[in-house]
Amino acid sequence: MRYIFELVRKNLIMKKIGVAIVGGGPAGLQAAITLANKGIKPILFEEHSTIGEPIQCGEGLSVHAFKDFNLPKGEKSFCVKELDTCHLMFPENKTILGDIRATMIHRDKFDQYLSKKAIDLGAEIFTATKVTNLQRKTDGVEIKAKGESNSKYFAKLVILAEGPNVQLAKTLGFQTPSPMIKAFEYKVRGEWSDKLEFHFDSKKFPFGYSWVFPREGETNVGIVTTTKDRKQRLDNFLKKKGITGRILKKIGGQIPMHGPLKKLYHNRVLLVGDTAGMVNPIFYGGIRMAMTSGRIAGNTVVDILKTETDQASFNLKIYEEKLRQFKFMKRINFQCHRFFYTRSNKFLTKLGEVFDSKYINQIEGTEILKTLGKILLRPSLLTNPIGLYWLYRGFKVARDWGF
């Protein structure tokens, strides 16, 4: 009798759905696109009234993401400017050149582009709807949402993309992507550079950096660091750089600091995006990583629902196994982070001297021997040779997965 009552309660009070997605950022939206494109129409809940707002992003997107997700290059609705030159700036004005290529975007418009694509494919998106509780049951997950007339749902599977503020994931017993690091950014009138700039200084920007990202008629200038006086440090940076353009907007947010979590699924719930720590721990960017996790989560759910429809519990392990094949999931990225961000300015200066005005990834032939010679002339760089290896490998991954 009790089982019959439960069955009636679910059918009459709760709306039964196949897949629910919590969070309308790039990870959740890409999951929705993937599912809807394969005939499974999810419901996505976004707590903010407008997809893509508020903006909490430096607004750079790797050119690799355009190829990965068949995004239209030069799309006027969200593309601003493509940049193919990157300068990593070290103390004593030493500069390492990078072949990072990125397109500056309108992040809100980009998310809205993904949202429209998901809706056109059949996904249902509820904005201004906050999911307040997820409760696992034997055959699904109960969802309570605030903001819609029908506030209760029952889903077979949930893709959790709630961002770095992981309240729901925490209540479900998941590890949280901590510690966090905070970013603060100004959108400044005028173009104050012609390239992507990353400024590293262990005293001014502990565990982080300041950046200058030029756009059309404006520039994003920001700082990410563990210190609390971020605004003052950013103001000092603008003054030193001579950036005097009018501040058009102030942007801030928190970012997972140590990269992807170890456990990304459990009992009908998959974590994607910032909720899963899908951030490169070197540049602290993660749009491409987030979308990749969303796509793999979507494909995993599609395969499960088509082959295991009568199972009381689903095997989600394949989601994690597929993600682990990517270089951005490797521990060496965190090892690079830990080594690099604990070096002194003296070390960073010597590193800059070795590679000053050179593209690290393009050093070949006799240039390798010359570079090794420069390193040997600076013994302090050799006190931790394995750290240099981590640095080399980690920055190669960050080149492709830093945005």
Pick the CATH number of 2-59+106-177+258-329 from 3.50.50.60, 3.20.20.70, 3.40.50.1100, 3.90.550.10: 3.50.50.60
Residue 349: burial class (beta carbons within 10 Å; 0-12, 13-18, 19+): middle
3-state SS of 246-308 is CEEEEEEEEEECCCCCCCCEECCEEECHHHHCCCCCCCCCCHHHHHHHHHHHHHHHHHHHHHC
Edge-first strand order for the sheet with 247-256 is 94-98, 86-90, 196-199, 209-214, 218-225, 180-189, 247-256
Per-residue tokens: 395: 């920055």
Q: Can you give the pLDDT at residue 357?
A: 73
Taking the domains of the chain in order of start, what are their residue ranges? 2-59+106-177+258-329, 179-256, 333-401
Per-residue tokens: 29: 């939206």
On whether the CB atoms of residues 44 and 126 are closer than 8 A, the answer is yes
**Can you give the C-alpha Rg of the chain in angstroms?**
23
* Stretches in the chain below the pLDDT threshold 70: 1-13, 148-150, 308-313, 361
Q: Are strands 247-256 and 265-266 parallel, antiparallel or unpaired?
A: unpaired
Q: Can you give the pLDDT at residue 312?
A: 52
What distance in Å separates the CA atoms of residue 220 and residue 59, rounded to the nearest whole number? 8
Closest CA to 178 of 264, 283, 293, 259: 259
What distance in Å separates the CA atoms of residue 273 and residue 27, rounded to the nearest whole number? 5
Q: Can you give the pLDDT at residue 382?
A: 87
Q: Can you give the pLDDT at residue 2?
A: 53
SS percent in the chain: helix, strand, coil, step 5: 40, 25, 35
The pTM of this model reads: 0.93
Pick the CATH number of 179-256 from 3.30.360.10, 3.30.9.10, 3.40.50.720, 1.20.140.10: 3.30.9.10
Rounded to 5°, angle at Cα 289 from 283 and 358 = 40
**What spatial distance separates the first Cα and last Cα of the chain, rounded to whole Å?**
54
Per-residue tokens: 165: 């503020």
* Digit-coded pLDDT (tens) for 143-170: 999 986 568 999 999 999 999 989 999 9
Q: Can you give the pLDDT at residue 4?
A: 47
Q: Tokens 């003054």 identify what position? A: 239
Q: Would you mind telling me the total number of residues written for the chain in this entry?
A: 403
Per-residue tokens: 224: 């990410």
On whether the CB atoms of residues 192 and 204 are closer than 8 A, the answer is no
Q: Can you give the pLDDT at residue 66?
A: 96
Q: Return the bridge partners of 196, or none.
A: 86
